Amino acid sequence: MPIVFKKDTNQFFLHTDRSTYVIELLDGRIPLHAYWGKTLPDMPPLVTWKSSFPSMFLAWDTGLEDVDFITTGCLPLEYPVFGSGDMRDPAFHAQFADGSRVMRLEYVGHTVTDGKPKLCGLPAIYANADEAQTLEMHLKDELSGLSVYLLYTVLPAYDVITRSVRVVNGGTEDVRLLQVASASVDFYDSQFDMLNLPGMWARERQIERRPLMHGVQRTDSKRGASSHYQNPFFALMPSDTTETAGEAFGFNLIYSGDFLASAELDAHEMVRATLGINPYDFSWLLTPGEDFQSPEAVMVYSDAGLGEMSRKFHRLYRDHLLRGKYQHGNRPVLINNWEGTYWDFTEEKLLEIAKGGKEMGCELLVLDDGWFDNDRLGELGPIGDWDIVDKKKLPNGLKGLGDKLNAMDMKFGLWFEPEVFSMNSELYKKHPDWCIHVEGRPRTKWRHTLNLDYSRPEVCEHVIKTISDVLNSAPISYVKWDYNRNISEAGSKGLSPERQQELRHRYMLGLYYVMETLTSRFPDVLFEGCSGGGGRFDCGILHYMPQIWTSDDTDPEERIYIQHGTSMAYPAIAMSAHVSASPNHQTFRATPFKLRGDVAMAGQFGYELDPAKMTDDEITAAKEQVAFYKKYREVVQLGDLYRLVSPFEEPFAAWEYIAEDKNTVLLYTFVINSKPYVAPKRVKLQGLDEAAVYVDEATGKEYSGAFLMQVGVARERTADHLSEIAVFRKK
Ligand code: DGJ
């Protein structure tokens, strides 16, 4: 059984295939964290928190009412509460009607069930009864009647534990929640590095790794979106952990809004990791009888380095986070008109792009920004009126265009930005108070838009109706859901004064409701998430939309870094990647067509250019790229990724994908910058069968698995931007 409660020792053992997590009830009352790491056999001596504090606490007595502050100051708490003698960052902070913030959460019971319950209104990992087991531990503050339920789901095959928290006001007076973290883990060690994925627009998810210093190291978002700037993922690992060896503890929050991820190295040389909704500008009124559900945190343990940690995240997300018809691939190769025309297109031009794309082998044309209203020739044009098609550009409407595309055997995809509107839209004229704002105060416009207030049910229903009407009006089989601003001047006309600080989380609940409704109403439509590129690349969005536009930066050199960093937590099947024109529109860098194709073929492949501007050689190369991708896309989409060489360590990158059946191996190599007189790079593969023979498809040359892994293959690095995708077949 994955979850075992040992009554005699008051301990919960949560076992995955290769890891164990232990919670212990101090005096049967206070949950302590005893262990998280490699599997521990079920034999004496059992690990307990005291194993780590042999002398200091053996004399512990049960006088919990009057605890010594030194003792509580470093007790490994499973869910630390604000206001106690523990002076580190809390996971939970609430205020009672009398203004006090002090409580004692004590264990009152638990249940263990097979499978995994759904989280009300929130995206989450899902699993069947035979795939997971869930522990729900009930803690209660006796004096106020406040209950806190800690939920742990164990997915043994993935070495994953998911955690979330439900709070129920069982008292007779209001409670104000000020922080409800989803997970908190007290580690008994201090020698950790923290790995984060900071970035920027067009430079998302770069890898940053630093040793923990005393104090709190935090990354967060206060933007109303998980953001370009940080990602709700982080990993902790001993400083000698590498890509292929050592322990790694990965944390990821299934949430698209403001998050806080922190690691506190304290004076006792212990580390507390915390992950959850950002307490910044958050407070939630819980009236008697009401409950609050936190988002879910995913925790992955690896004892084989960061590469194995990432593969576990990837497998979990492919199998238990993504949903719908396109969960396992089967997605069209597309051509998008954005970088080809920007706002300046006609039906004729779009059909020409589609024809060019079709010749290359594309299966779908995406019509990007600018198809609606009557004069959106740039960012100043109105936005928000999805029911008004620009008849100057599209005289036959969306249906006319869609029918013509379908007649040439191309599918039709459409761009929306449903969370914003501009002041020159009809929608704003009708509902000026539907924006997020505080009356009488200035508002920050981004790209000339204001944020629609998704905390209001009527706004959500309006969006659902207008988008549904458009999707019903034409043969649309793909939607690109863009969001190009963040939340500022947070205020809502729909919320009472005492609930104003619920806006940011209520916005996310509204967004998830809209996404859930639309994606289940249109199960055949492939939805792609986007937020000015990868400004909301997170598991919340991926639960509804199985792929996300990874970045607005389509320069392949930049993309190598972005895709490498993104792969720390997210699988290739989720990363949209397109070939665009050279010189690149974001970096102005010129790159070979081959490099652009090779980098994009490591993700969800497509094009984003005007085929009329391509040379004949490029068209021929594009045909070969599409044919290659169609032949091998399942290896990329469903295979295991091995990051062989990191561009963050040298001006070269190598990625390897091994098919699910282990018979096909794709080796991607990229020279970023060349160096004079440098020897070829020997790229050593991983994860192969040592004794098997692998045939290089291009040359027919045969290699043993051991040779490929120990000697490797040589790649010239005498010129910038050399790239190659080699295919090895197991004989
Ligand atoms: C930002 C997106 O990331 C781009 O791909 C494009 O759709 C533009 N918005 C359109 O305004």
- Read off the pLDDT of residues 491-511 as tens digits, 9 standing for 90 and up: 999 999 999 999 999 999 999
Diameter of the chain by CA atoms? 83
CA separation for the pair 695, 414 (Å, rounded): 42
Whole-number Å distance, alpha carbon 334 to ligand 1 midpoint, is 15
610 is catalytic: no
Mean pLDDT across the stretch 60-66? 46
* 192 close to 236: Cβ distance less than 8 angstroms: yes
Please give, one letter per residue, the 3-state secondary structure of 181-245. Answer: EEEEEEECCCCEEEEECCCCCCCCCCCEEEECCCEEEEEECCCCCCCCCCCCEEEEEECCCCCCC
Confidence band for 315, pLDDT divided at 50, 70 and 90: very high
pLDDT of res. 650:
96
CA separation for the pair 577, 333 (Å, rounded): 10
CA separation for the pair 69, 88 (Å, rounded): 12
- Here the tokens at position 525 are 């439509």
- CA distances 170 to 100, 357, 435, 696, Å, are 17, 60, 35, 66
Q: What angle do CA 325, 565, 330 make, to 5 degrees?
A: 15
Instruction: List b or e across 602-624, with b for residues whose CB sees 16 or more CB atoms inside 10 angstroms.
Output: bbbbbbbbbbeebeeebeebbee
Nearest CA to ligand 1 atom 11: 369
Report which ligand 1 atom has the smallest distance to the Cα of 549: 3
Nearest CA to ligand 1 atom 9: 532
pLDDT of res. 54:
60
Strands 296-302 and 160-169: antiparallel
Q: Angle at which helices 347-360 and 616-638 pack, to 10 degrees?
A: 70
Nearest CA to ligand 1 atom 1: 532
Lowest-confidence range among 59-73, 349-363, 523-537, 642-656? 59-73
Q: Report the mean per-residue pLDDT for the chain.
A: 95
- CA distances 627 to 333, 352, 607, 636, 725, Å, are 10, 21, 14, 14, 14
β-partners of residue 374 are none
Confidence band for 59, pLDDT divided at 50, 70 and 90: very low
Report which ligand 1 atom has the smallest distance to the Cα of 608: 5
CA separation for the pair 371, 352 (Å, rounded): 16
Mean pLDDT across the stretch 11-32? 94
Question: Are both 89-320 and 334-638 of the same fold?
Answer: no
Whole-number Å distance, alpha carbon 478 to ligand 1 midpoint, is 15
Mutation pick for ligand 1 pocket among 482, 483, 584 (CB with most ligand atoms within 8 Å): 482
- Here the tokens at position 59 are 């004399």
- Here the tokens at position 366 are 């995406």
482 is catalytic: yes
User: ω into residue 583 within 30 of 0, thus cis?
Assistant: yes
pLDDT reading at 330 higher than 90? no
Report which ligand 1 atom has the smallest distance to the Cα of 447: 11
User: Which residue, among 657, 682, 678, has the nearest Cα to 720 in the 3D structure?
Assistant: 678
User: Which residue, among 503, 561, 556, has the nearest Cα to 206 in the 3D structure?
Assistant: 561
3-class DSSP state for residue 397? helix
Taking the domains of the chain in order of start, what are their residue ranges? 89-320, 334-638, 652-730
Confidence band for 352, pLDDT divided at 50, 70 and 90: very high
Nearest CA to ligand 1 atom 2: 532
CA separation for the pair 596, 579 (Å, rounded): 5
pLDDT of res. 127:
98
Instruction: List b or e across 339-349, with b for residues whose CB sees 16 or more CB atoms inside 10 angstroms.
Output: bbbebebebeb
Whole-number Å distance, alpha carbon 386 to ligand 1 midpoint, is 16
- Here the tokens at position 164 are 């979330």
Lowest-confidence range among 40-54, 453-467, 537-551, 619-633? 40-54
pLDDT reading at 62 higher than 60? no
pLDDT reading at 51 higher than 50? yes
β-partners of residue 669 are 654, 724
pLDDT of res. 47:
85
Whole-number Å distance, alpha carbon 530 to ligand 1 midpoint, is 8
pLDDT of res. 58:
40
- Here the tokens at position 415 are 């761009």
Residue of 60 and 108 predicted with greater confidence:
108
DSSP secondary structure code for residue 452 in this structure:
B
Phi, psi for residue 449 in degrees, rounded to 5:
-115, 160
* 580 close to 571: Cβ distance less than 8 angstroms: no
Whole-number Å distance, alpha carbon 404 to ligand 1 midpoint, is 24
Mean pLDDT across the stretch 359-372? 97
Q: Angle at which helices 593-600 and 616-638 pack, to 10 degrees?
A: 20
pLDDT of res. 75:
85
CA separation for the pair 448, 423 (Å, rounded): 8
CA separation for the pair 416, 264 (Å, rounded): 41
CA separation for the pair 180, 146 (Å, rounded): 13
Mean pLDDT across the stretch 548-555? 98
- Here the tokens at position 320 are 């238990």
Q: Angle at which helices 347-360 and 397-407 pack, to 10 degrees?
A: 30
Mean pLDDT across the stretch 626-650? 98
What confidence tens digit (pLDDT) does each residue in 415-444 have?
999 999 999 999 999 999 999 999 999 999
Report which ligand 1 atom has the smallest distance to the Cα of 530: 3
User: Which residue, among 423, 461, 226, has the nearest Cα to 435 in the 3D structure?
Assistant: 423
First to last CA, the chain: 39
Strands 271-277 and 175-187: antiparallel
pLDDT of res. 232:
98
Whole-number Å distance, alpha carbon 344 to ligand 1 midpoint, is 14
CA separation for the pair 16, 133 (Å, rounded): 10
- Here the tokens at position 101 are 């913030």
Mean pLDDT across the stretch 164-185? 98
Helix (H), strand (E) at residue 515:
helix 503-521
Whole-number Å distance, alpha carbon 522 to ligand 1 midpoint, is 23
Confidence band for 1, pLDDT divided at 50, 70 and 90: confident
Confidence band for 375, pLDDT divided at 50, 70 and 90: low
pLDDT reading at 484 higher than 60? yes
Instruction: Write down the catalytic residue from 390, 482, 553, 555.
Output: 482
pLDDT of res. 160:
98
User: Which residue, among 154, 171, 172, has the nearest Cα to 163 in the 3D structure?
Assistant: 154
In this structure, the residues whose C-beta lies within 6 A of any atom of ligand 1 are 338, 368-369, 415, 482, 484, 530, 532-533, 549, 552
What confidence tens digit (pLDDT) does each residue in 221-259 have?
999 999 999 999 999 999 999 999 999 999 999 999 999
Mutation pick for ligand 1 pocket among 341, 420, 552 (CB with most ligand atoms within 8 Å): 552
pLDDT reading at 220 higher than 50? yes
Nearest CA to ligand 1 atom 10: 369
Determine the CATH number of domain 89-320: 2.70.98.60
pLDDT reading at 161 higher than 50? yes
Residue of 72 and 316 predicted with greater confidence:
316
Q: Which CATH architecture has domain 652-730?
A: Sandwich (2.60)
DSSP secondary structure code for residue 381 in this structure:
S
CA 431 to chain centre: 33
The answer, as to whether pTM is greater than 0.85, is yes
Confidence band for 60, pLDDT divided at 50, 70 and 90: very low
Whole-number Å distance, alpha carbon 158 to ligand 1 midpoint, is 35
Whole-number Å distance, alpha carbon 532 to ligand 1 midpoint, is 6
pLDDT of res. 385:
94
Mutation pick for ligand 1 pocket among 549, 551, 555 (CB with most ligand atoms within 8 Å): 549
Whole-number Å distance, alpha carbon 432 to ligand 1 midpoint, is 25
What confidence tens digit (pLDDT) does each residue in 288-300 have?
999 999 999 999 9
Whole-number Å distance, alpha carbon 556 to ligand 1 midpoint, is 18
pLDDT reading at 379 higher than 90? no
pLDDT of res. 610:
98
Mutation pick for ligand 1 pocket among 204, 376, 530 (CB with most ligand atoms within 8 Å): 530
CA separation for the pair 578, 555 (Å, rounded): 9
Q: What are the percentages of helix, strand and coil residues in the chain, rounded to 5?
A: 25, 30, 45
pLDDT of res. 63:
44
pLDDT reading at 727 higher than 70? yes
Report which ligand 1 atom has the smallest distance to the Cα of 552: 3
Mean pLDDT across the stretch 299-320? 98
Mutation pick for ligand 1 pocket among 483, 484, 541 (CB with most ligand atoms within 8 Å): 484
Instruction: Write down the catalytic residue from 141, 368, 538, 552.
Output: 552
pLDDT reading at 341 higher than 80? yes
Determine the CATH number of domain 334-638: 3.20.20.70
Instruction: List b or e across 160-192, with b for residues whose CB sees 16 or more CB atoms inside 10 angstroms.
Output: bbbbbbbbbbebeeebbbbbbbbbbbbbbeeeb
